A and B are shown apart, each in its own frame.
Chain A
Amino acid sequence: MSKELRFLVVDDFSTMRRIVRNLLKESGYAEADEAEDGVVALQKLRASTFDFVVSDINMPNMNGFQLLAEIKKDDKLKHLPVLMVTAEARKEDIVLAAQQGAAGYIVKPFTKATLEDKVNHILTKMGLK
C-alpha cells in the first residue's frame, strides 16, 4: 500500500531534489515528482494527485511557508501532510511551521534514517501506512 503513495519534492536545488527522491525510493516510496519552487508545486498539486509533500523553505518566487499556507487554505489540498526539509534552523521558524500546520520539520544536513523515520511516522499518524 505504502509503495503507491505519491510524493511531491519541492526544493530550488536540483541536487537536493534528487537526493530526497533517491532516499524516498530507497525507503520504498518510488512514486515522486518534483518542483523547483512553491509556485510550480502548487500548479502540480492542483493538476494532479499527491499524498505527501516534502518541501524546502528558502526558495524563490514562493517560499515554503507561503506554499504551506496556500496548501492549508485550499479545501482540496489541506489534508496533505507537508514535511519541511530545510536549512532554516531558527527556533521561531520551526515554531511557525508547526503553527501553520506542517506535519514535520527536518533541518539540513540530515540523514537517510531521519527522513525515513519522519515520513513513516507521519504516514502512520495519518493512517496512510
Chain B
Amino acid sequence: MSSDTHPQPALSTGEVHQQLGALTRQLHDSLNGLGLAAKVKDWAGELPDAKSRLSYIARLTGQAAEKVLNQVDQAKAQHDHIAAETRRIGALIVKDPVAAVAKGHVMNFITDVEQASQKVDSHLTEIMMAQDFHDLTGQVIAKVVTLAATIEEQLVLLLLQTAPADAKVAAPAAQEYTPALAGPVVDGQTNQEVVTDQSQVDDLLASLGF
C-alpha cells in the first residue's frame, strides 16, 4: 500500500449541500444541453400515472381473487347440498323404493338437482369471467414496462453523452416513445373523455344514430 495515501477529510453539512447543488445544476444543464429537459418533464408527468396504473392492477387482481373465492364458496355450498340430498334419497330408496317414488321424494330430488346444477353453472361462468383481469392488467403492465424502458434508455443515453471524452462510446440512437392506444381506464371518474361503463357506450352510439 502506498504510504502517501491520506484519508479524505470529512465534509461539513454545508459542503455536502454545496456539492449536491453543483451536481443538480450540472445534471440540469446537461439535460437542457441534450434537449432532454422536456422529456424529463414528460416522465415526471407519467410517473404518477404509472403509480395509478399499478394501483389499478392491485385493485383488479384483488377483486378478481375475491370474486373467484366467493363464487367457489357458493358453488361448493350447492355441491354439498346435492351430495347430502343424494345420500338422503339413497337411504329412502333403500328403505322403501315404492314409497320414495310415491311420496314424491325422488321427483323433488331431481328438480332440486336440476336447480342446483344451474346455479353451479352460473358460478362457473362468473369464475371464468373473473379471469378477464389477465387481459386488462396485462395491457396496463405493458404500458408501465414501456415507460420504465423509455426512462432507462434515455438515462443510458444521458450517461453516454456526458461521459469523459476518453470513456465516451458511440451512443445508440434513442427511440422516440410513441404512446399506443389508451388501454383500460384506470381512473375514469376524473376523465370526461372516456366512458366508464357499457351504458355510456350505448348512449354515445345511440346519439350518433347507431
Using a CB–CB cutoff of 8 Å, the interface residues on chain A facing chain B are 11, 13, 15-16, 19, 22-23, 26, 57-58, 63, 87-95, 98, 104-112, 114
Most chain A CB within a 10 A radius of its CB, from B125, B128, B198: B198
Q: How far is the CA of A63 from the CA of B195 in the complex (A)?
A: 20
Q: How far is the CA of A59 from the CA of B101 in the complex (A)?
A: 58
The main secondary structure of chain A at its interface with chain B is mixed
B144 within 8 Å of A by Cβ? no
Establish whether residues B136 and A105, one from each chain, have CB atoms under 8 Å apart when the complex forms: no
B194 within 8 Å of A by Cβ? yes
Choose from B131, B134, B181, B198 the contact partner of A88 (Cβ within 8 Å): B181
Q: Looking at the assembled complex, report how far the CB atom of B88 sits from the nearest CB atom of chain A, in whole angstroms.
A: 31
Residue of B nearest to A113 (CB): B198
Establish whether residues B182 and A114, one from each chain, have CB atoms under 8 Å apart when the complex forms: no
Establish whether residues B193 and A106, one from each chain, have CB atoms under 8 Å apart when the complex forms: no
- Name 13 A/B residue pairs within 8 A (Cβ), A-sorted: A13-B134, A13-B138, A16-B134, A23-B125, A58-B139, A63-B181, A87-B136, A87-B183, A88-B182, A88-B183, A104-B205, A108-B136, A111-B129
B132 within 8 Å of A by Cβ? yes
Q: Mark B173-203, 1 if CB is under 8 A from A, else 0.
A: 0000000111111001000011111100100
Q: Looking at the assembled complex, report how far the CB atom of A120 sits from the nearest CB atom of chain B, in whole angstroms.
A: 14
Choose from A11, A22, A90, A112 the contact partner of B194 (Cβ within 8 Å): A90
B96 within 8 Å of A by Cβ? no
Choose from B136, B181, B184 the contact partner of A93 (Cβ within 8 Å): B181
19 more A-B contacts (CB under 8 A) besides A22-B128, A88-B183? A11-B135, A13-B135, A15-B131, A15-B134, A15-B135, A16-B134, A16-B135, A19-B129, A19-B131, A58-B180, A89-B182, A89-B188, A89-B201, A90-B182, A94-B201, A105-B201, A108-B132, A110-B132, A112-B125
Choose from B132, B188, B205 the contact partner of A16 (Cβ within 8 Å): B132
Q: How far is the CA of A123 from the CA of B194 in the complex (A)?
A: 28
Residue of A nearest to B198 (CB): A114
Establish whether residues B181 and A98, one from each chain, have CB atoms under 8 Å apart when the complex forms: no
Q: How far is the CA of A67 from the CA of B180 in the complex (A)?
A: 16
Inter-chain contacts of B198 with A (CB < 8 A): 106-107, 110, 114
Q: How far is the CA of A108 from the CA of B140 in the complex (A)?
A: 13
Inter-chain contacts of A57 with B (CB < 8 A): 181
Chain B, 133-171, CB within 8 A of any chain A CB: 133-136, 138-139
Q: Looking at the assembled complex, report how far the CB atom of B67 sits from the nearest CB atom of chain A, in whole angstroms.
A: 11
Inter-chain contacts of B134 with A (CB < 8 A): 13, 15-16
Establish whether residues A89 and B125, one from each chain, have CB atoms under 8 Å apart when the complex forms: no
B16 within 8 Å of A by Cβ? no
Q: Looking at the assembled complex, report how far the CB atom of B71 sits from the nearest CB atom of chain A, in whole angstroms.
A: 13
Establish whether residues B129 and A112, one from each chain, have CB atoms under 8 Å apart when the complex forms: yes
Q: Looking at the assembled complex, report how far the CB atom of B106 sits from the nearest CB atom of chain A, in whole angstroms.
A: 30
Inter-chain contacts of B193 with A (CB < 8 A): 90-92
Establish whether residues B194 and A89, one from each chain, have CB atoms under 8 Å apart when the complex forms: yes
